[in-house]
Amino acid sequence: MALLCCAVLLLRVFDSALATVVVDIDYGGYPLLVNRLLGEPSVMSLQGRMDAAWFRATNPQACPQQCDCPIHWPTALYCDHRGLAETPDRLPDRTQYLFLQGNNISSLSSSFLTNITALRWLILDHNQLQDLVSLQNQTQLSYFFANHNHLRSVPSTLPTGLKQLRLAHNRIRSISPGAFQNLHNLTLLLLQGNRLQIITEGDLKGLFRLNLLDLGGNLFSAVPRHLPPSVQQLYMSNNTLSGLGEDSFRGLLNLKYLRLSRCGLQSSDVHQQVFNFSSLVELDLSYNRLQTIPTVPTTLQYLYLEANEIQEFNVSSFCSEWGPLSYSRMKILRLEGNKMSYQQLPSDWVFCLRVLESIYI
């Protein structure tokens, strides 16, 4: 939700002529933002738009038999959803956008990109890959997606110019030491739906610009200690966390969006002040086993607590005091599916939750 809202915001700011969100395909659950200024291709599939045979016959440049090479986008190569067991031979060296998702590719030949030097996007979602080849020579590569494969680790040979790395829904248990140490431009890292248990000190070192980190659906029992301080969106839903200490998010001074839905959290294991830090804008604690509302900062605008075991509503969770400038900025508060009713709201709640737009109870 956070990302969608930012994408919409971005559209408004930069005008829809320049950026397009492509939402029709999964890409690890987050839409792909297309930058038309950079000449990025706006169509993800040519199906139904053009006759492939005609296309190949009239295309002046060589095009692999298994792919479509659009005339209007000579730098894009569509080899997706064709049941390919291997990557096509002799990829045109002009290729900058390579779509190989939805095939049956179980390994990559180390030479498959030998003649390509300008690759910007490499999309390998929904294949059977267990390992990757070194992509270090692809100095222009900025988006690399291999969601829904069988990868077992994050390789250490990633190109340093990467901006997005999407490896959701694999079998990743570990991150190779130093894998990210030179990836200073990476802003988005998807690792949800893997088998990670811990992140050690060096694992994410070097990710100075990381904004969104999705670690949902892994085997974490605690919030990892060594996360990059630049992170604004941290998603850890669907991990069975044993609890949250006062300092669980210490050092994450830019954290705005935090998702901890379905983490088995109980109030007795959650420090009352753990979420009381002023950068926080959105907090998702739905589908846990909380009995009380934790203290949240007055800056918080969205709080999701639905499907917990909350029995009481104490205004002190939102405001330690109230006055002309001290009140909660909460806009949306979801409390449905708990053990309390609207009648239980104390009469003074309106003085604190002054700008509330919706409350679900």
Ligand X SMILES: *[C@@H]1O[C@H](CO)[C@@H](O)[C@H](O)[C@H]1NC(C)=O
Q: CA–CA distance from 82 to each of 59, 79, 108 (Å)?
A: 20, 7, 16
Is 242 within 8 Å of 268 (Cβ atoms)?
no
Query: Strand, helix or coil at 234?
Result: strand
Helices (H), the chain: 2-14, 52-58, 349-352
What is the distance between the alpha carbons of residues 71 and 73, in angstroms, rounded to a whole number? 5
* Shortest reach from residue 348's CB to ligand X, in Å: 10
* Shortest reach from residue 182's CB to ligand X, in Å: 7
**Six token digits for residue 252:** 């994450």
Rule CB under 6 A: is residue 242 a binding residue for ligand X? no
Sign of CA dihedral 175, 254, 307, 147: negative
Q: How many residues does the chain have?
A: 361
* Shortest reach from residue 295's CB to ligand X, in Å: 4
What is the distance between the alpha carbons of residues 192 and 189, in angstroms, rounded to a whole number? 9
**What element of type H or E holds 158?**
none
Which of positions 285-344 make contact with ligand X (CB under 6 A)? 295, 297, 314, 316, 320
Site map for ligand X, 29-68, x if CB under 6 A? ----------------------------------------
* Shortest reach from residue 292's CB to ligand X, in Å: 9
* Shortest reach from residue 85's CB to ligand X, in Å: 5
Site map for ligand X, 70-109, x if CB under 6 A? -------------x-x----x-------------x-x---
- Residue nearest ligand X by beta-carbon distance: 161
Residues near ligand X (CB under 6 A) are 83, 85, 90, 104, 106, 110-112, 114-115, 134, 137, 160-161, 185, 192, 216-217, 237-238, 262, 276, 295, 297, 314, 316, 320
